Structure 1
Amino acid sequence: MAATPFVSVMVVIYNHDQYVEQALDRILAQRVNSPWEVVVADDCSIDGTAAILARYQQRYPDIVRVLPVELGVSRNFERAMQACLGKFVAIVEGDDYWTSPDKLQLQAEFMQSHPDFSMCFHNAEVIGNV
Structure 2
Amino acid sequence: MSQHTSLVSIALCTYNGEKYLKAQLDSLVIQDYQNLEIIIVDDCSTDNTVSIIKEYQKLRSNITLYINEKNLGFNKNFKKALENCKGDYIAFADQDDMWELNKISKMVENIGDNLLIYHNSAYIDENGIPNGLSKKSHHKFVSGDCAINFLYYNCVSGHACMINKDLLETTPPFPKDFYYDWWFAYTAANTGRINFLNESLVKHRKHSNSSTSADHTDPRSLRLYQFKLFLAHPMTIGSVKEMLLKLIHNYEELRFKKFSLKLFSILIRNAHQLFYIRKKSVYSRLKFLITESTQHQ
TM-score, with normalisation over the residues of structure 2? 0.39
Alignment length (residue pairs): 121
CA drift at 1:49: 0.3
Structure 1 unaligned spans of 5+: none
Confirm whether residue 122 of structure 1 aligns to residue 119 of structure 2: yes
> How far apart in 2 are the matches of 1:68 and 1:49?
11
Deviation at 1:68, TM superposition (A): 2.3
Q: Distance in 2 between matches of 1:96 and 1:14?
A: 14
Q: Pairwise mapping of residues 43-122 of structure 1 onto structure 2 (< 5 A)?
A: 43-61=43-61, 63-69=62-68, 71-72=71-72, 73-98=74-99, 100-111=100-111, 114-115=112-113, 117-122=114-119
For the residues of structure 1 that align with 2:33 and 2:26, how far apart are their CA atoms? 14
Q: Which has the larger radius of gyration?
A: 2
Q: Distance in 2 between matches of 1:110 and 1:85?
A: 20
Q: Which has the higher contact order (CA 8 A, sep 6+)?
A: 1
Deviations 1:22-67 (A, max 9, x none): 101101110014x211111111111110110111112212x11111
The residue type paired with residue 41 of structure 1 is V
The 4+ residue runs of structure 1 with deviation greater than 6 A are none
Report % sequence identity: 27
Instruction: Note if contact 2:41-2:65 (Cα within 8 Å) is conserved in structure 1.
Output: yes
Unaligned ranges ≥5, structure 2: 1-5, 126-206, 209-297
Q: Deviations over 1:7-28 (max 9, x none)?
A: 0111111111011111011011
Paired with 2:116 and 2:25, the residues of 1 have a C-alpha distance of 22
**Secondary structure of the corresponding residue to residue 67 of structure 1:** strand
Q: How far apart, CA to CA, are the structure 1 residues paired with 2:93 and 2:28? A: 9
Q: What are the superposed Cα offsets for residues 69-108 of structure 1, whole Å, 9 maximum, x if unpaired?
A: 252221110000010110000101111111x211101101
Equivalent residue number for residue 25 of structure 1: 26
User: RMSD across aligned C-alpha pairs, in angstroms?
Assistant: 1.7
Write the letter of the residue equivalent to 1:120.
Answer: I
Q: Which of the two has greater helix per residue?
A: 2
Indicate conservation of the 8 Å contact 2:44/2:67, yes or no.
Answer: no
Deviation, 1:118, is 1.2
Counterpart residue number, 2:217: none
Provide TM-score, normalisation by structure 1: 0.86
